[in-house]
């Protein structure tokens, strides 16, 4: 085959320009006239970073890890949940990717798994082991070769007073690793088994210091900017100006708490925070505006 046979057909440039024109008209119909811009060698979408879920996800992950490194587990968990709430399926779902582009999908999926582990570790440090058990049981069923999740489940079960179940989880992990990979559990998982058998005090639930939580009624100030939520913030601000109760609902992790904190922080009249975690065990916040 000659080089000439590999050249694109002479009509390809016109066909591309027609598709670009159609795309511009589509964007214009949605009110985004300047979204598609010409660059040397091609075209690009002039979207701000906060409009791209993948970039927002990475930004939130960095913020979550920074908060955790600074000793703020509550903030780290909240930001990790907000990051994970951006996911609704496979990374870049529906796109056909090859070569380096396919690596982007893999990188995002691996980061999602890592920040999920970070979030659970943070919640265990916050003493939320009871609420984590059902979730961790589902997680080890879905990803049975991730040893760290077995470790998290063993710790959560033991802290709930379920020593026998914690040992059962260890045995299940050991058998799964042997059958699937032909290996023994890693040193950390084996250490956990010994600690459970010995009722090691290091496995006891953490004791939360009163100084780690905000005083009653005080709004917890966010450490990071609330990106890409201006429309929701404006809408909530207008609703709060009317008589009645405003409630944010939606699946866990989509950023309800973060949004409510931002709105409360901007209220000229101030707001009061009421934490329901001590009475319901779910860590559900309520914001009462005054």
**68 and 159 together in one domain:** yes
Q: Is the pLDDT of residue 281 over 50?
A: no
Top-confidence range, 45-54, 61-70, 222-231: 61-70
Q: Is the pLDDT of residue 35 over 80?
A: no
Strand positions, DSSP E, the chain: 36-39, 42-45, 271-275, 285-289
Phi and psi, residue 243, nearest 5° = -65, 145
**145 and 191 together in one domain:** yes
Is 163 within the bounds of a domain?
yes
Q: How far apart are CA 206 and CA 175, in angstroms?
A: 30
User: In the chain, how many domains are there?
Assistant: 3
**190 and 285 together in one domain:** no
Percent of the chain with pLDDT over 70: 72
Q: Is the pLDDT of residue 98 over 80?
A: no
Q: Which of 24-33, 44-53, 185-194, 243-252 has the lowest mean pLDDT?
A: 44-53
Which residues, in sequence order, are CB contacts of 248 under 8 Å at separation 6+?
A: 236, 256, 259, 260
pTM of structure: 0.61
User: And the tokens for 252?
Assistant: 């866990």
**139 and 114 together in one domain:** yes
Q: Is the pLDDT of residue 211 over 60?
A: no
* Torsional sign, CA 125, 129, 134, 140: positive
**269 and 192 together in one domain:** no
Top-confidence range, 54-58, 177-181, 233-237: 177-181
The domain in which residue 260 lies consists of 215-289
- pLDDT for position 162: 93
Half-sphere exposure in the Cβ direction for 284 (13 Å, CA): 11
Is 209 within the bounds of a domain?
no
Per-residue pLDDT reduced to its tens digit, 103-124? 777 888 899 999 999 999 999 9
* For range 198-212, the mean pLDDT: 75
Is 242 within the bounds of a domain?
yes
**176 and 41 together in one domain:** no
More confident site: 122 or 34: 122
Q: Which of 40-54, 97-111, 132-146, 261-275 has the lowest mean pLDDT?
A: 261-275
**199 and 225 together in one domain:** no
Is 40 within the bounds of a domain?
yes
Is 178 within the bounds of a domain?
yes
- pLDDT for position 236: 80
* For range 248-254, the mean pLDDT: 72
**199 and 57 together in one domain:** yes
Per-residue pLDDT reduced to its tens digit, 19-29? 888 888 887 77
Per-residue pLDDT reduced to its tens digit, 142-156? 999 999 999 999 999
**160 and 266 together in one domain:** no
Is 92 within the bounds of a domain?
no
Query: For the domain that residue 182 is a member of, what is the CATH number?
Result: 1.25.40.10
Percent of the chain with pLDDT over 90: 41
Per-residue pLDDT reduced to its tens digit, 55-92? 888 999 999 999 999 999 999 999 999 999 888 777 66
Q: How far apart are CA 14 and CA 7, in angstroms?
A: 15
More confident site: 90 or 130: 130
Is 38 within the bounds of a domain?
yes
**239 and 283 together in one domain:** yes
Q: Is the pLDDT of residue 37 over 80?
A: no
**61 and 33 together in one domain:** no
**145 and 166 together in one domain:** yes
Is 134 within the bounds of a domain?
yes
- pLDDT for position 174: 97
140 close to 153: Cβ distance less than 8 angstroms: yes
- pLDDT for position 212: 44
């Amino acid at each position: 085959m000659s080089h000439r046979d590999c050249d694109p057909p002479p009509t390809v440039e016109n066909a591309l320009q027609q598709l670009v024109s159609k795309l511009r008209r589509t964007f214009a119909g949605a009110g985004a006239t300047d979204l598609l811009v010409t660059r040397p060698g091609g075209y690009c979408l002039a979207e701000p970073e906060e409009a791209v879920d993948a970039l927002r996800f990475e930004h939130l992950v960095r913020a979550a890890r920074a908060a955790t490194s600074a000793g703020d587990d509550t903030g780290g968990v909240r930001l990790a949940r907000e990051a994970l709430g951006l996911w609704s399926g496979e990374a870049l779902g529906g796109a056909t990717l090859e070569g380096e582009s396919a690596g982007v999908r893999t990188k995002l999926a691996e980061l999602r798994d890592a920040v999920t582990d970070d979030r659970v570790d943070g919640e265990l440090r916050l003493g939320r082991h009871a609420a984590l058990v059902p979730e961790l049981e589902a997680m080890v069923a879905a990803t049975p070769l991730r040893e760290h999740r077995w470790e998290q489940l063993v710790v959560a079960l033991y802290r709930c007073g379920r020593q026998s179940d914690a040992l059962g989880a260890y045995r299940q992990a050991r058998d799964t690793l042997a059958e699937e990979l032909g290996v023994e559990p890693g040193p950390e998982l084996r250490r956990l088994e010994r600690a459970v058998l010995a009722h090691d005090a290091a496995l006891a639930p953490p004791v939360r210091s009163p100084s780690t939580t905000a005083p009653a009624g005080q709004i917890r100030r966010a450490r990071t900017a609330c990106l890409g939520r201006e429309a929701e913030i404006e809408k909530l601000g207008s609703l709060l100006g009317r008589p009645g109760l405003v409630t944010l609902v939606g699946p866990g992790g989509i950023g309800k708490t973060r949004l409510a904190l931002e709105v409360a922080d901007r209220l000229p009249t101030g707001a009061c925070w009421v934490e329901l975690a001590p009475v319901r065990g779910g860590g559900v916040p309520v914001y009462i505006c005054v």
